Amino acid sequence: MLTDYKHIQKLRIKRHHILQNYLHQASRIIIELAKTYQVGKIVIGEIKEIKQHNPIKTFVQIPIQRFVQMNITTKTDE
């Protein structure tokens, strides 16, 4: 039983690291495109309830709010 728990924990940590890496890469691409096209401001629309109205069920696993807050906001200040 304990080994199952450890295995699940390892999978969760691995998923977290993969998502973090993906979010950082995606935000870096957005920032680089903004710099290339000399965009002075990145506007992100209303994201509340965006997941509830999407027919793609795997979309709910993407941490959209974390992407907006952690990545785009901090990288634009660099």
pLDDT in tens, 26-74: 888 888 888 899 988 877 766 666 666 666 655 556 677 777 776 566 5
Domain ranges across the chain? 2-76
* Residue bearing tokens 């941490």: 63
Quick check: 8 pLDDT over 80?
Answer: yes
Q: Average pLDDT, stretch 1-29?
A: 86
* Residue bearing tokens 């699940």: 8
**How far is 78 from 12, CA to CA, in rounded Å?**
30
pTM of the predicted protein model: 0.66
